[in-house]
Amino acid sequence: MRNAVVAGMRLRTIPVGIAPVLVGACAAWREIRVLGAPAPFLMGWFFAAMAVCLGVSVGLQIAVNFTNDYSDGIRGVDAARLGDESATGKPRRMVASGLMTPSHVLICAAVFAVVACACGVVAACWSQAWWLIALGPVFLLAGWFYVGGKHPYGYHGWGEIFVFLFFGLAATVGSQYVIARTVMVRSLLVVPISRAYMLSMWPSLGPTVPASWGVTWLGWLSATVVGLNAVAVLMVNNLRDVNDDRAGGKRTLTVILGRLRSWNLLIGICAVATIMSFEVALYEAWWWGLPVGMLLPTLQAWLLVSVKRGNYQSALAVASLVVLVFAALDVLWIAV
């Protein structure tokens, strides 16, 4: 059972949950440095808030993986994913293969959803952004109805939009907001500081604590890159499964557009993501960021070549690598 649970988590997809938090943390770090947050020890709040954001993002990612396994399994969409990946070329699904019962898969999804919600409550408390608690049910419902319920939107071509919004924009700028706001709130509460200075640097939305959306244009730009890279992962996955999805009545965007148009769209997404990543590099490390950033289009080209050759295992591995590499380069551009 333990091995089945680990397999059901689909650890290869975890970069999609980790990368937006790292990128959001980089944007928050730049904002905090500009604002001049006092007392170096308060940076401990930075890493604590980042860990909480990781709990939310990765918890939701794994919960969605389990709900996808459950919903696709009971619908019979995963009929071709019963055997080992070495034989089928596709990751084995738990419900379809019988390794786990549907109820056990749902329990696993619920456990990770609870972990994500608990981390979300902590994030709301630390940042004093209580409205974040209300977003928890929204994220959970969005994850469930992706492929669950009577009319899952993932079965009608909206999967890429979901991934872009939730694992791109929301996860990245949400992390930037929570981390930056947590550090600044703790600065005001713990360290004596001129409120006039804080207000001059960060507009106030409350009577006692300086606040803002805590999100900069760099955060939105970086979030867009993360979202596009995450969409590329999903599109490679859907290109691999297009025949099975069509047979099972799962109308993904790839099924709707067909292979050729989906291939062209994937090229466009990779190109736009690369161009925007260069903009981030030039802003954060203008004199050396661009040469180092050339690693990204190299990986994107490798991804496209793998898809063209039908080597989807390699393509998915590279697509996930692109997500992590951009996050790692973002950290490098900020740190150096």
Tens of pLDDT, residues 73-127 = 777 766 655 555 555 556 777 777 777 888 888 899 999 999 999 999 999 999 8
What are 283's two structure tokens? 């802003």
pLDDT at res. 199: 45
CB 177 within 8 A of CB 213: yes
Instruction: Give the Cα separation of 304 and 292 in Å (integer).
Output: 20
Q: How far is CA 66 from CA 22, 106, 238, in A?
A: 24, 7, 17
CA angle 238, 265, 263 (to 5 degrees): 60
CA angle 56, 159, 252 (to 5 degrees): 150
Mean pLDDT of 65-74: 83
pLDDT at res. 211: 43
Query: Residues 145-185: pLDDT tens digits?
Result: 887 778 888 888 898 999 999 999 999 999 999 998 888 77
Query: Residues 271-305: pLDDT tens digits?
Result: 999 999 998 888 877 677 778 888 999 999 999 99
**Three-class SS string for 24-39?**
HHHHHHHHHHHHCCCC
Q: What is the pTM of this model?
A: 0.87
Query: Residues 175-228: pLDDT tens digits?
Result: 999 998 888 777 766 554 444 444 444 444 343 444 444 678 889 999 999 999
Q: How far is CA 15 from CA 46, 160, 197, 229, 323, in A?
A: 21, 17, 39, 11, 6
CB 115 within 8 A of CB 18: no
Query: Residues 231-275: pLDDT tens digits?
Result: 999 999 999 989 888 887 788 899 999 999 999 999 999 999 999
pLDDT at res. 92: 72
Beta bridge pairs of residue 251: 156
pLDDT at res. 202: 45
Instruction: Give the Cα separation of 224 and 333 in Å (integer).
Output: 17
Quick one: pLDDT band at residue 132, thresholds 50, 70, 90?
confident
Name residue, tokens 């590499």.
Answer: 325
